[in-house]
């Protein structure tokens, strides 16, 4: 499950990126910055949008076949990995 979580996080970490950074979104008071309270705006957006796809139906559901607890653990690991890509948290 760890390896699968890391691979999925790597695949989705920039899903639907539109070419601006968090500072730009925060400074322009974008809807996304407001939604995510100016914290890891793009990273939260990428993972949330990816989960919409990854849970949209049986053919795409990455959690299909997992127990409820396994799905929670995997989801948390994916979120943690994607949020860790926010470079402002690395100084």
The total number of structural domains in the chain stands at: 1
Range of the domain at 53: 2-89
**pLDDT tens-place string over residues 24-72:** 999 999 999 999 999 999 999 999 999 999 998 888 999 999 999 999 9
Q: Which class for 71: exposed (0-12), middle (13-18), buried (19 or more C-beta within 10 A)?
A: middle
Q: DSSP H helical segments within 1-91, as ranges?
A: 2-12, 22-27, 31-35, 41-54, 68-83
Neighbours of 1 (CB within 10 A): 11
54 and 62 Cβ atoms separated by less than 8 Å: yes
Please give the model's pTM, rounded to 2 decimal places.
0.92
């Amino acid at each position: 499950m760890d390896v699968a979580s890391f691979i999925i996080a790597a695949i989705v970490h920039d899903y639907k990126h539109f070419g601006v950074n968090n500072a730009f979104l925060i400074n322009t008071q974008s809807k996304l910055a407001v939604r995510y309270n100016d914290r890891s705006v793009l990273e939260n957006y990428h993972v949330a949008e990816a989960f919409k796809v990854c849970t949209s139906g049986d053919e795409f559901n990455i959690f299909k076949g997992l127990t409820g607890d396994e799905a929670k653990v995997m989801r948390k690991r994916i979120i943690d990995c994607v949020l860790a890509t926010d470079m402002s948290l690395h100084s």
